[in-house]
Amino acid sequence: MSFFKKMKEKIILNKKTEQIFYELALIEFSTGNKRLGLWAMALSKSDGSIEHADALYIGLLAEEIKNDEYLESNKIEEMEKQQYLLQLQKEKEMKKLIDPRFKNPQPYVKRH
């Protein structure tokens, strides 16, 4: 695939992802529950117009949902990394129990 096709595909995927965040924002907005900090930001930027504040709020909310998703995925990624390291440590300990050669580091093995 050429460079330009890859870039176009990435742009299209980003737009589709952004649409999903706006859809989620609209669904949350339709419940009537507002995140007060975001609502205050929208009101302060709308010069008192409720209709304009609503539109701004949906945009801010979509961005906030995107940020929440990013933070959550990083948290999950970090947890998976910790689980992987724990698994490696368990395997190392099991080797020590099974094979006594692994109990002490070998003097001829170069350590970094």
Q: 81-105 pLDDT, tens per residue?
A: 888 888 888 887 777 777 666 666 5
Cα separation, 86 vs 69, whole angstroms: 26
Sign (positive or negative) of CA dihedral 102, 104, 109, 110: positive
Of 27, 93, 82, nearest in space to 58 by CA: 27
Cα separation, 47 vs 44, whole angstroms: 6
Cα separation, 29 vs 26, whole angstroms: 5
Phi, psi of 2 (to 5 degrees): -75, 165
Q: 35-89 pLDDT, tens per residue?
A: 999 999 999 999 889 999 999 999 999 999 999 999 998 888 888 888 888 888 8
Contacts of residue 53, defined as CB under 8 A and 6 or more positions apart, other chains included, come to 39, 42, 43, 45, 46
